[in-house]
């Protein structure tokens, strides 16, 4: 049985990290946080989280660049990604093609909805 309950959150906004961390911990997950895309990429390769929640706009690597880098690495290619975007930033299917982005959620988002999407991603990953 896999006891890995780690979810990686990558966002450069402390209040978003805090809200997401609390909701996911209450949902039974171990949360690991990164403040930028480069740190998130390094952590993903090391801890192999069940899923990644990432902001679109971050220093060093954007959420899209992070998802593309994860997809290129066989060790991280299957990790589902949830991309958070600021209102007004459209992310189309062409931008997410070739990545494992499962959901795009616009800020402000419902923490309850985010937890539901994480649970869906974990369920999909567990069944694969």
For position 126, what pLDDT does the model report? 45
Which homologous superfamily is 6-127 in?
Response regulator (3.40.50.2300)
| 35, 83, 77, 92 alpha-carbon torsion, rounded to 10° | -140
Cβ 95 vs Cβ 64: under 8 Å: yes
**Structure confidence by residue, pLDDT tens digits, 69-110:** 999 999 999 999 999 998 766 777 777 888 999 999 998 999
pLDDT digits (tens, 9 = 90+) for 102-122: 999 998 999 999 999 999 999
Query: What's the confidence (pLDDT) of residue 92?
Result: 72
Domain ranges of the chain: 6-127
Q: What is the mean pLDDT of the chain?
A: 90
Length of the chain as a residue count: 128
Among candidates 52, 19, 22, which has minimal Cα distance to 37? 52
User: Residue 72: which residues within 8 A CB-CB, separation 6 or more?
Assistant: none
């Amino acid at each position: 049985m896999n006891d890995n309950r780690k979810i990686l959150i990558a966002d450069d906004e402390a209040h978003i990290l805090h809200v997401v961390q609390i909701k996911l911990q209450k949902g039974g997950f171990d949360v690991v946080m990164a403040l930028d895309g480069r740190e998130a990429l390094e952590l993903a390769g090391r801890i192999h989280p069940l899923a990644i929640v990432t902001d679109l706009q971050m220093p060093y690597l954007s959420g899209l660049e992070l998802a593309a880098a994860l997809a290129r690495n066989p060790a991280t290619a299957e990790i589902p990604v949830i991309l958070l975007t600021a209102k007004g930033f459209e992310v189309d299917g062409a931008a997410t093609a070739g990545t494992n982005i499962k959901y795009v959620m616009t800020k402000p988002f419902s923490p309850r909805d985010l937890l539901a999407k994480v649970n869906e991603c974990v369920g999909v990953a567990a069944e694969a």
